[in-house]
Amino acid sequence: MHTSDQDNVPFVRVAVYPGSFDPVTNGHLDIIHRASKVFDKLVVAVLNNTSKNPLFSVEERVGLLREVTRDLPNVEIDSFRDLLINYMKKKNAHLIVRGLRAVSDFEYELQLASTNRKLCEDIETFFMTSTPQYSYLSSSIVKEIARFHGPVSDLVPPEVEQALRGKYGTGTTEC
């Protein structure tokens, strides 16, 4: 917690890490752990995107995120179905955290950040680059591997691996 110049009033730096997290991967967790050290409070916000057909329901994704972040006291798990800017105002947050895996992510993320800034000039976006070991990892890749019973234990937390096996069955194909 920090203090403002006015009357030494404490203020909390609240950041929001939005995403679909379908499912949460070790790459997401890496960003969550690192961002939780930078900000006083980190809200991991699961987007309820009605135009997508997710594998896990919003409730399942929120539950999995709560399980895998239970050791992080300044991390809150929530969901939203609105414009991110509206959600940010509701949470009294001014900072968005976004992960960048590769240069190819940057153009899209820059477009989002610029749009959010246009909608609300008080909003800042902080980009965190992925740890190299997770730079290739996406939820789509994890789902594809799990769907064909491939090994995902190095890609997701154990709770998520178990949930994936519940969706796709228990067979495993090893290399």
Q: Which amino acids are annotated catalytic?
A: 28, 52, 101, 139
Under 8 Å CB-to-CB from 26, ≥6 apart: which residues?
134, 137, 154, 155, 156, 157
Buried-state track 108-125, b at ≥16 Cβ within 10 A, e below 16: ebeeebeebeeeeeebeb
3-state secondary structure of 142: helix
The residue type of 28 is H
List Cα–Cα distances, 154 to 140, 150, 172, in angstroms.
15, 11, 13
Please say whether the beta carbons of 51 and 162 come within 8 A. Answer: no
Please say whether the beta carbons of 162 and 134 come within 8 A. Answer: no
